[in-house]
Amino acid sequence: MSISQREAPPDERDPLVPWTTEESARLYRLEDWGSGYLGVSERGTIEVYPSKDPSRKIDLLEVVEGLNARDLSPPVIIRFPDIIGYRMRDLRDSFDQAIRETGYEGRYSCLYPIKVNQQRHVCEAVRDLGHELGFGLEVGSKPELLAVLALTAGRNDMPVVCNGFKDDEFIETVILASKMGRNIIPVVEQFHELELLAKQAKAHQITPPIGVRARLAASGTGRWAGSAGFRGKFGLSVSELLRAVEYLRDQHLLDGLRMLHCHIGSQLSDIRTVKYAVSELSHLYVEMFRLGAPLEMMDIGGGLGIDYDGTQSATESSTNYTLDQYASDVIHRIRSVCDDAGVPHPHLLTESGRALVAHSGVLICEALSSRVVPDRPDAELVEGALGQEDVPQPLLDLMDAYERLADGDPTEVFNDAVHARDEALSLFNLGYMDVACRAASEELFWAIGSGLLRRLGEDSLDEIDGLPGLLGDLYFCNFSLFQSLPDSWAIDQIFPIVPIHRLDEEPTQRGILADITCDSDGRIDRFADELGPRGTLQLHPLLPDENGKAGKEPYYLGIFLIGAYQETLGDLHNLLGDTHAVHVRLTEDGRWRIDEVVEGDTVREVLEYVQFVPDEIRRTMRMDIEDSVDAGKLTLPEGVSLKRFLDLGMGGYTYLE
């Protein structure tokens, strides 16, 4: 049979049945990880429900088009401050409910750790509602302390907890703020900080409230397991805690020792680790109380996780508990340990950061082009090569494997194809195969791979390791992984990704995403799925623009749940700077509006970060252009164009425009 007569293996889905938006919602599993904040509109676009009420919605494509019209083109982070508010209320409600149900006699507050997202507008949103809900803020460094002191000015009652390593200056600032009437508590991370505290307390004649961080034996699991445990970097060991009580007693400062603190790691995926840690901390709390420490607060740190992959399991990208279960387990544990010891229930604090802000941010980026693995070989090329005299054996073997594609044993077909492709490459490298035969071999190999993928579906390809990823189309997207999704690169964090439009069309391609940095690591090839991460994401083919010219219709992808940690951890790889960020809210009458715009870095700004002087660059280039025109290498209009590009470029976005 000639290659051009062969049918490609049949697709699983009947193409005559129209694809529905419900199928898209199921395919991308919006319900599993979207926590009720997302849905698909009838026209196939993603809708955001900031209060989980589908009648009050924001159409993401409409927002992106509105931003484009305002010269704020992707990549752009869209933040929904209303979602932060909703998450904060959820947390409040879950703990209030647990407190009511168990008869717990202490109160609960959350302290938002600003390192999770320090952008001023995010912090202000948390502060404003937080003040109403009795929440506070947490800092971990001197700059964060200064930012929070300013943020909470005029709100003296708002609790501020200071973690992190501290020097004299840090501690003096806290003590003075305490003297000003601020509700601020330094948490001692290392024993010598107690001595600094005692020195400053005496110098300013005040007994400040003091917290101590316990280095628990219990630790989290996964990425952040090192935050606690015997070898943890932070906190006082049990013997140091005992010494701390004695030291403060000697210094007449024991009255200040009000809080016991711990933090066993972020993204705690297994509720059992939370229970162990809270039990251990509660027992330490009652023991220290019995030794005379007037403790009244227990701070269990952060760690409340997010179900990034929607599997509701104890895997690294998920959690095997709900917010209500977390609150109930924590409150129940503390209460039972304190009741057994006859110790009053403490005011409970958590430093939940990720859980408050992760849902509030989505990164929108545009897929600019794609490199598609062909599912049929180039017939002319293959037939030409096969028509030669002395066709090399590997090419014949590949043709044979291709012919067995529809009914042969898949593993055997694939292994034969890999073997023949490798032999073809060796022959070519030794000079025994010409370039036409090599090209035909590659065409056949890719067509075999795609055919197997279509015949079996990605799920049944476990035995053909890595094939789905190998065959994924490469979608080149206008963003930098290092700037906008650092955790995807650094710790393989999974973020859910969904096209924000065309969801009324079947996504027929399987792709991986590549960013525009010059780094092969700048790609995403692990995607959330029910049975663990998969190697490709179903996407739509890119369409030519209306005129069928070189351009294409925009294709926008939303990368969700990026509100925590990503913005500040991002770096300037390739000098691709901060993206634009906007805050979008729903008005009373159901329209969306832009509340805040933070424009992304310009080329000039990123050059200055690395000590280039833009005006000097301009001057140098201007002279070089002048010399080139003088020497006849450039025409005068060409020189002017180049100069214009330089001038415009300096003030422009660092991403492709």
Out of 84, 214, 304, 542, the only residue in the binding site for ligand PLP (CB under 6 A) is 304
Distance of closest approach, residue 127 Cβ to ligand PLP, in angstroms: 17
137 binds ligand PLP (CB under 6 A): no
Which pair of tokens denotes residue 460? 């049944």
- Token pair 């409230």 is found at 209
Out of 152, 163, 360, 488, the only residue in the binding site for ligand PLP (CB under 6 A) is 163
Looking at residue 231, what DSSP letter applies? T
Alpha carbons 544 and 15: distance in angstroms, whole number: 22
Distance of closest approach, residue 268 Cβ to ligand PLP, in angstroms: 7
**Is 163 or 450 the residue whose CB approaches ligand PLP more closely?**
163
Out of 75, 235, 303, 310, the only residue in the binding site for ligand PLP (CB under 6 A) is 303
Cβ-Cβ contacts under 8 Å for 548 (sequence gap 6 or more): none
354 binds ligand PLP (CB under 6 A): yes
Applying CB under 6 A, the span of 31-39, 198-206, 297-305, 611-619 interacting with ligand PLP comes to 297-305
Cα 621 versus chain centre, distance? 39
Distance of closest approach, residue 149 Cβ to ligand PLP, in angstroms: 18
Alpha carbons 24 and 651: distance in angstroms, whole number: 40
482-499 burial, b at 16+ Cβ within 10 Å, e below that, comes to bbbbbbbbeeebbbbbbb
Looking at residue 544, what DSSP letter applies? B
Neighbours of 588 (CB within 10 A): 6
**Is 24 or 267 the residue whose CB approaches ligand PLP more closely?**
267
Alpha carbons 651 and 253: distance in angstroms, whole number: 56
Distance of closest approach, residue 297 Cβ to ligand PLP, in angstroms: 15
557 bridge partner residues: 365, 499
Q: Report the SS3 class of residue 488.
A: helix
Out of 44, 106, 302, 570, the only residue in the binding site for ligand PLP (CB under 6 A) is 302
Residue nearest ligand PLP, Cβ-based: 302
Q: Which amino acid is at 395?
A: L
Out of 301, 410, 563, 639, the only residue in the binding site for ligand PLP (CB under 6 A) is 301
211 binds ligand PLP (CB under 6 A): no
Distance of closest approach, residue 295 Cβ to ligand PLP, in angstroms: 18
User: Within positions 536 to 595, which residues make up the interface with ligand PLP, using CB under 6 A?
Assistant: 564
Out of 113, 136, 449, 522, the only residue in the binding site for ligand PLP (CB under 6 A) is 113
User: Within positions 228 to 267, which residues make up the interface with ligand PLP, using CB under 6 A?
Assistant: 263, 266-267
Which pair of tokens denotes residue 93? 């409600």
352 binds ligand PLP (CB under 6 A): yes
Looking at residue 29, what DSSP letter applies? T
Residue 394 host element (H or E): helix 393-403
**Is 198 or 306 the residue whose CB approaches ligand PLP more closely?**
306
Alpha carbons 654 and 657: distance in angstroms, whole number: 8
**Is 125 or 516 the residue whose CB approaches ligand PLP more closely?**
125
Out of 353, 392, 499, 522, the only residue in the binding site for ligand PLP (CB under 6 A) is 353
Neighbours of 656 (CB within 10 A): 14
Looking at residue 431, what DSSP letter applies? T
Residue 452 host element (H or E): helix 435-456
User: What's the residue count for the chain?
Assistant: 657
User: How many residues form the binding site for ligand PLP (CB under 6 A)?
Assistant: 17
Distance of closest approach, residue 135 Cβ to ligand PLP, in angstroms: 13
**Is 112 or 414 the residue whose CB approaches ligand PLP more closely?**
112
**Is 351 or 515 the residue whose CB approaches ligand PLP more closely?**
351
First vs last C-alpha separation in the chain: 48
**Is 24 or 109 the residue whose CB approaches ligand PLP more closely?**
109
Asked whether 209 and 254 are in contact (CB, 8 A), the reply is no
**Is 234 or 414 the residue whose CB approaches ligand PLP more closely?**
234
Asked whether 512 and 536 are in contact (CB, 8 A), the reply is yes
**Is 187 or 514 the residue whose CB approaches ligand PLP more closely?**
187
484 binds ligand PLP (CB under 6 A): no
Alpha carbons 274 and 303: distance in angstroms, whole number: 9
**Is 116 or 485 the residue whose CB approaches ligand PLP more closely?**
116
Cis peptide before 496 (omega within 30 of 0): no
116 binds ligand PLP (CB under 6 A): yes
Neighbours of 595 (CB within 10 A): 13
220 binds ligand PLP (CB under 6 A): no
Applying CB under 6 A, the span of 240-248, 345-353, 382-390, 592-600 interacting with ligand PLP comes to 345-353
Q: Which residues bind ligand PLP (CB under 6 A)?
A: 113, 116, 138, 163, 263, 266-267, 301-304, 351-355, 564
